[in-house]
Chain A
Amino acid sequence: MEFKELLVDKLKDQVPGFECTEEEFRGELSLTFDKRDIVKVCEILKNDPELSFDLCEDVTAIDWAKRTLRYTVVYHIFSLKNKFRVRLKCNIDEEDCAIDTVSSVWKSADWAERETYDMYGIQFNNHPDLRRMYMPEDFEYYPLRKDFPLMGIPGSLPLPKK
């Protein structure tokens, strides 16, 4: 059995009610599934001895602007043992702009999730330290959202007093 079939089968066996869409583009596998399953899926992917996706490379998001489910949170994880990379995607509604954190599974997701929060305003539930990563703490906007203008918003970053 091929590794990616094994991967999807394992997830279907162990997560109750798991449904996902598989996509393959340029030899890279993406799995899209419901956001409620995210922590469970990540725990299985990391802890299963055959899969052992022990390196979380990146967490980010995509803003689709006009779509009904406006955001997609994207995780890139890599298995050092199998030399295999998989992309996990969860769609998120603008009204309920939150997803559970996976920083309990991989510590490296901590900062990556903070960055995603900083840039897109997506809340990560149960995150230990959800602060802004790059922008000042009192900045009111989320710069990578598509409705944030490229030139910035004048006056949004106060200059130091003379």
Chain B
Amino acid sequence: MEKLTKDDIHPKILEALMRTESRYTVEDALENEMILNMGPQHPATHGVLRLLLRLDGETIVACVPELGYLHRGYEKMAENMSFYEFIPHTDRLDYLAPLSNNVAWVLAVEKLTGIEAPPRAQYIRMLICELSRIASHLVAIGAFAMDVGAMTVLLWTFREREKILDIWDILCGARFTNTYTRVGGVANDIQPEALAKVNWFIDQFDDNLKECEQLLNKNRIFIERLDGVGIVSAKDAIDLGLTGPTLRGSGVEYDLRRAKPYLFYNEMDFNVITYKEGDCLARYFVRIDEARESAKMVRQILSKMPQGEVRLNSAKKVLPNKAEVYTKMEELIQDFMIVNFGINPPAGEIYSAIENPKGELGFYIVSKGEGHPWKCKIRSPSFCNCQGLPLMMKGHMVSDVVAIVGSIDPVMGEADK
């Protein structure tokens, strides 16, 4: 970290930093106070988040997050490709839970087209959503603990996450960028080996999570660095548009799985975890408990999963089975039309959102009846959660910055789109 001068910083960002009142005037602020540049290349900012901190001694007077270092223009790209072609790109949004993003996108497209996947496909989607929630929360907890100095936990949670990635490997042949869902279903049925591995994973998960918890819950350094740091009240949290564990850590019982059930979440028995403290520690507890709730839900999904098709059979809307494309004329034509001209949903607009590990991931799609969307807006949870950073940081110490950033767990691939 280096001290900045007036030449290093864009005047408009400086103006935003200086807007907060303090006992110094604007003219001598650069003399008496310090402006500290953190990131975009910094191990504790979870990617390329850049924070400009205005400090009075060690206390943070103002914080201005600067986004856009990973901006790849996905909204522009979505306008120029078919609905199918965009599925792999959703993997790169929240890259810690790619399958969740896949599900969010296909649910949006299905809502626009007016089709529904068969029950088994929907159960598989729920299964992968919950497992990716566990995987994502494990990374969040591990990285968070490492940010505040407990190195061991990261290795332990990554060991657990590795097992989920192994399940993805069997399921769709990729560990990281999965692209597993399709419009009207999923790419392939879930294999018996994968199901066996899920069963095994869930059975041992509770004990292993408890081990990780034991490293942290009685760790005095960990608790003292988080307790009472970065408090957001319930009212502020709603006003700032925070969602996911960050909102529930402030005591607001808002979970899209409950508020606006999609897939078969209305048949699931689960608790919406809330903690009313609203500090970093509460957000950590929300994640731990949610991982446990997800494991509970995975058990229910496994016991309720029906047999049957995993892909809808609907000409002009859904890609046909690959084996049939090679042997039957009708399917070949169908495949050709969809690949070349897209699925042409009716003209209209929809907003479809699901509860991702980080919060509410929504897609707003405007269609003019063509094969590609006229407009696609990604409402990404990390972007909205980052907006809470200035409020959370004000009045805390420099060393709390990493704890606060870690507690909202932003993924810059998603925040910058």
Q: What residues of chain B lie closer than 8 Å to A111, measured between beta carbons?
A: 383-384, 386-387
User: With A134-B68, A134-B71 given, is the CB distance from A58 to B379 under 8 Å?
Assistant: yes
Q: What residues of chain B lie closer than 8 Å to A129, measured between beta carbons?
A: 16, 19
Contact A55 B241 (CB under 8 A): yes
Q: Which of A87-121 contact B (CB under 8 A)?
A: 87, 106-108, 110-112, 115, 119
Where chain B touches its partner, the secondary structure class is: mixed
| Whole-angstrom CA separation of A133 from B69 in the bound complex | 10
Contact B348 A25 (CB under 8 A): yes
Q: Say whether A39 faces chain B, with CB atoms less than 8 Å apart.
A: no
Q: Say whether A13 faces chain B, with CB atoms less than 8 Å apart.
A: no
Contact A80 B348 (CB under 8 A): no
Q: What residues of chain B lie closer than 8 Å to A74, measured between beta carbons?
A: 364, 377
Q: Say whether A70 faces chain B, with CB atoms less than 8 Å apart.
A: no
Q: Say whether B275 faces chain A, with CB atoms less than 8 Å apart.
A: no
| Whole-angstrom CA separation of A22 from B383 in the bound complex | 30
Q: Say whether B30 faces chain A, with CB atoms less than 8 Å apart.
A: no
Q: Which of A112, A119, A128 contacts B75 (CB 8 A)?
A: A119
| Whole-angstrom CA separation of A136 from B310 in the bound complex | 45
User: With A107-B241, A111-B383, A129-B16 given, is the CB distance from A76 to B350 under 8 Å?
Assistant: no
Contact A134 B67 (CB under 8 A): yes
Q: Say whether A162 faces chain B, with CB atoms less than 8 Å apart.
A: no
Q: Say whether A54 faces chain B, with CB atoms less than 8 Å apart.
A: yes
Contact B241 A150 (CB under 8 A): no
Which of B10, B16, B350, B377 has the most chain A CB atoms closer than 10 A to its own CB? Answer: B377
| Whole-angstrom CA separation of A61 from B238 in the bound complex | 23
| Whole-angstrom CA separation of A83 from B262 in the bound complex | 13
Contact A87 B351 (CB under 8 A): yes
Q: Which of A26, A76, A85, A150 contacts B111 (CB 8 A)?
A: A26
Q: What residues of chain B lie closer than 8 Å to A83, measured between beta carbons?
A: 259-260
Q: Which of A32-62 contact B (CB under 8 A)?
A: 54-58, 60, 62
Q: Which of A117-145 contact B (CB under 8 A)?
A: 119, 128-129, 131-137, 143-144
User: With A80-B259, A83-B260, A111-B383 given, is the CB distance from A25 to B349 under 8 Å?
Assistant: yes
| Whole-angstrom CA separation of A107 from B387 in the bound complex | 9
Contact A80 B350 (CB under 8 A): no
Contact A85 B351 (CB under 8 A): yes
Contact B238 A144 (CB under 8 A): no
User: With A144-B76, A150-B76 given, is the CB distance from A108 to B387 under 8 Å?
Assistant: yes
A38 to chain B, nearest CB (A): 18
Q: Which of A25, A26, A137 contacts B10 (CB 8 A)?
A: A137
Scan B366-388; emit 1 where CB is below 8 A from any A CB, else 0.
Answer: 10000000110101000110110
Contact B76 A107 (CB under 8 A): no
Contact A80 B360 (CB under 8 A): no
Which of B10, B12, B80, B238 has the most chain A CB atoms closer than 10 A to its own CB? Answer: B238
| Whole-angstrom CA separation of A135 from B379 in the bound complex | 18
B33 to chain A, nearest CB (A): 20
Which of B241, B254, B384 has the most chain A CB atoms closer than 10 A to its own CB? Answer: B241
| Whole-angstrom CA separation of A54 from B241 in the bound complex | 9
Contact B387 A54 (CB under 8 A): no
B360 to chain A, nearest CB (A): 7
| Whole-angstrom CA separation of A127 from B87 in the bound complex | 35
Q: What residues of chain A lie closer than 8 Å to B10, measured between beta carbons?
A: 137
| Whole-angstrom CA separation of A113 from B128 in the bound complex | 34
User: With A107-B239, A134-B67 given, is the CB distance from A58 to B364 under 8 Å?
Assistant: yes
Q: What residues of chain A lie closer than 8 Å to B374, measured between beta carbons?
A: 62
Q: Say whether B13 faces chain A, with CB atoms less than 8 Å apart.
A: yes
Contact B377 A60 (CB under 8 A): yes
Q: What residues of chain B lie closer than 8 Å to A62, measured between beta carbons?
A: 366, 374-375
Q: Say whether A9 faces chain B, with CB atoms less than 8 Å apart.
A: no
| Whole-angstrom CA separation of A3 from B171 in the bound complex | 44
B377 and chain A: residue at smallest CB distance: A60
A42 to chain B, nearest CB (A): 13
A140 to chain B, nearest CB (A): 15
What are the 4 closest A-B residue pairs judged by CB atoms, nearest first? Answer: A108-B241, A134-B68, A134-B71, A25-B348
Can you sample 13 A-B contacts with CB below 8 Å? A25-B350, A26-B114, A56-B241, A58-B351, A62-B374, A63-B375, A80-B252, A108-B384, A112-B384, A115-B383, A129-B16, A143-B76, A150-B80
Instruction: Give the interface of B toward A (CB within 8 A).
Output: 10, 12-13, 16, 19, 67-68, 71, 73, 75-77, 80, 111-112, 114, 236, 238-241, 252, 254, 259-260, 348-351, 353, 360, 362, 364, 366, 374-375, 377, 379, 383-384, 386-387, 416-417
Instruction: Give the interface of A toward B (CB within 8 A).
Output: 25-26, 28, 30, 54-58, 60, 62-63, 74, 76, 80, 83, 85, 87, 106-108, 110-112, 115, 119, 128-129, 131-137, 143-144, 148, 150
Q: List 14 extra interface pairs beyond A107-B236, A134-B416, CB under 8 A.
A: A54-B238, A57-B360, A57-B362, A58-B362, A76-B379, A80-B238, A80-B252, A107-B240, A111-B383, A129-B16, A131-B13, A132-B68, A137-B12, A143-B73
